[in-house]
Amino acid sequence: MRNLEDECACRDAVSRSYRELRQCAVPERSAFEASIRVYLYYHPEVPTNVARLTVSAWLENGNSPET
């Protein structure tokens, strides 16, 4: 069973992967797909369509931490 710390680590990793790929001029779609793969690494039990919606919501709602 995953605890709250795992969820935070997942969100940070997902957001960081997207942000850093975009900073390296990786196309938005590719960065998004990579972020989904990061999410699924932490949550292999989650269906891909749910992972896509979750990551999309995190990124759209400004939940991507800026450095």
- pTM summary value: 0.80
- According to the model, what pLDDT value does residue 24 have? 98
- According to the model, what pLDDT value does residue 49 have? 97
Q: Which residues, including other chains, have CB under 8 Å from residue 46's CB and lie 6 or more apart? A: 39, 40, 54
Q: Is 40 inside any structural domain?
A: yes
Q: Is 43 inside any structural domain?
A: yes
Going by pLDDT thresholds of 50, 70 and 90, the confidence category of residue 2 is low
The count of structural domains within the chain is: 1
Residue-range definition of the domain harbouring residue 38: 4-60
- Phi, psi values for residue 5, rounded to 5°: -60, -40
Q: Is 53 inside any structural domain?
A: yes
